[in-house]
Amino acid sequence: MSEILNIFDVKHKSADGKARTGVIHLPHGDVQTPVFMPVGTNATVKAMPKDFLEEIDFEIILANTYHLFLRPGPDLIEKAGGLHGFSKWNRNFLTDSGGFQVFSLSKLRKITEQGVKFQSNIDGSYHMFTPENVVQTQVKFNSDIQMQLDVCTGWDEGRKAAENALKVTSDWLLRAKKEWENQRENGYKGILFPIVQGNFFEDLRKQSAEFVSSLDTPGIAIGGLSVGEPHEEFTKFMNYTSELLPENKPKYVMGIGTPEYILDAVSAGIDMFDCVLPTRNARNGSYFTRRGMLSIKQERWISDFGPIDPECNCKVCRTYSRSYLRHLFKEQEILSSILASYHNLYFLKEIIKEIRIAINEDMFEQYRKDFLEKFNSGF
């Protein structure tokens, strides 16, 4: 297995902190880090044709195992040539295990040592996820990075629940890793990421981080954050967990999609992050700009014929006015979601580019300070 364990090269570590740039080598091309990954739950980023994602130059997107397992099903996707053949997105896919959705969407669920039995949120049918069949499902998807099945606990759950969830997650990881190694021997090229859990207890986080690190997987995800906790707790536990992980592996934190959180993550030495927020905000008429969030529904934009963000060079800002974009949103035109999603994803991609340059020039912390000062200044 040794030839696949080194998928990550650190290019530069900023002299002013823990931020770093690097490259992850994956089956469908290299990925420059830090990287923001748009979420394409159903093998599509909502309102974004794949050509737009290529135009903005994303190298990896997410898809969701829970949703795709239920519809259209792993066998059909495998028949279509995996997620790449099915969607025609020929760059990398990361798929999450579906564990989080089982716990957040399913009406009924029962966790046993074997796996988790759950009821579909679509038609009420019953299904079983095990560490093994979740790996097998993601192999059928031909995921470039797949996640282990884990148990996620919320911010307000107690220590007992956190201990139980961690024990199950750790046991499931050993089984997932064994199944993944079998699949690799049968020709599967994708990578398995384990997930560090432990809720908001330092000793449990440490225990989980040490256990996961000892297994020497190609990369590591930090789970159980962005689950309703205050921002300072999020930052504290992200930094604490990140420091416990090996430096030669890419580190991934799930569910981060605002500039503030992205900058926090990069500052903590995190390499990968994803979130539905940029596109969800877009569909709700909320645009990222250098001066913070702009809500297009506000009346003050009725006669404003300037661009959403004068400093943005995307085709939406080069072409359309705030007045027109407000009109589209108020009339609930489909084009509103398309243009807002394009702009928000382009905006984040530009921020990430600037972050990489700042890290390589040992100026990241200064960049972060300057960016946030302006971003929080408002209109």
Last residue of a domain, which of 275, 298, 328? 275
Joined tokens for residue 311: 């400093």
**98 and 153: one domain?**
yes
**317 and 240: one domain?**
no
Verify whether residue 9 is a known catalytic residue: no
The angle subtended at Cα 349 by Cα 287 and Cα 372, nearest 5°, is 65
- Contacts made by residues 129-135, CB under 8 angstroms, sequence distance 24+: 129/97, 129/98, 129/99, 129/102, 130/175, 131/172, 131/173, 131/175, 131/176, 131/179, 132/175, 132/176, 132/179, 134/65, 134/97, 134/98, 134/99, 134/176, 135/176, 135/179, 135/180, 135/183, 135/192
Alpha-carbon span 238 to 326, nearest angstrom: 37
Q: Which residue, 266, 311, 267, 306, is CA-closest to 288?
A: 311
Residue among 96, 144, 271, 309 flagged as catalytic: 96
Residue 349 near residue 56, CB atoms below 8 Å: yes
Q: How many domains does the chain have?
A: 2
Across-strand partners of 116? 111, 129
Alpha-carbon span 99 to 148, nearest angstrom: 8
Q: Which residue, 324, 329, 283, is CA-closest to 306?
A: 324
Alpha-carbon span 135 to 185, nearest angstrom: 14
Q: What was the pLDDT predicted at 1?
A: 46
**180 and 304: one domain?**
no
**271 and 291: one domain?**
no
**128 and 7: one domain?**
yes
Non-local (6+) Cβ contacts of 96 within 8 A are: 62, 64, 65, 147, 254
**246 and 309: one domain?**
no
**202 and 318: one domain?**
no
Last residue of a domain, which of 226, 253, 275? 275
Q: What was the pLDDT predicted at 375?
A: 98
Which CA distances in Å does 275 have to 39, 63, 66, 124, 255?
A: 6, 11, 16, 27, 5
Sheet of 29-33, strands arranged across: 8-13, 20-26, 29-33
Hey, is 1 helix, strand or coil? coil
Residue among 150, 271, 274, 309 flagged as catalytic: 274
Average pLDDT per consecutive 10 residues, the chain (379 residues; last block may be shorter) = 74 96 98 97 97 98 97 98 98 93 79 92 92 98 98 90 96 98 97 97 98 97 92 96 97 93 97 94 97 98 98 98 98 98 98 98 98 94
CATH number for the domain that contains residue 158: 3.20.20.105
Residue 236 near residue 226, CB atoms below 8 Å: no
Alpha-carbon span 77 to 244, nearest angstrom: 37
Alpha-carbon span 260 to 308, nearest angstrom: 20
**197 and 314: one domain?**
no
**293 and 344: one domain?**
yes
Q: What was the pLDDT predicted at 106?
A: 67
**263 and 306: one domain?**
no
Verify whether residue 96 is a known catalytic residue: yes
Alpha-carbon span 376 to 379, nearest angstrom: 9
Last residue of a domain, which of 275, 305, 331? 275
Q: What was the pLDDT predicted at 2?
A: 43
Residue 336 carries which side chain, given as an amino acid letter? Answer: S
**133 and 112: one domain?**
yes
What domain range includes position 137? 2-275
**132 and 211: one domain?**
yes
Joined tokens for residue 328: 């589209």
Residue 334 near residue 347, CB atoms below 8 Å: no
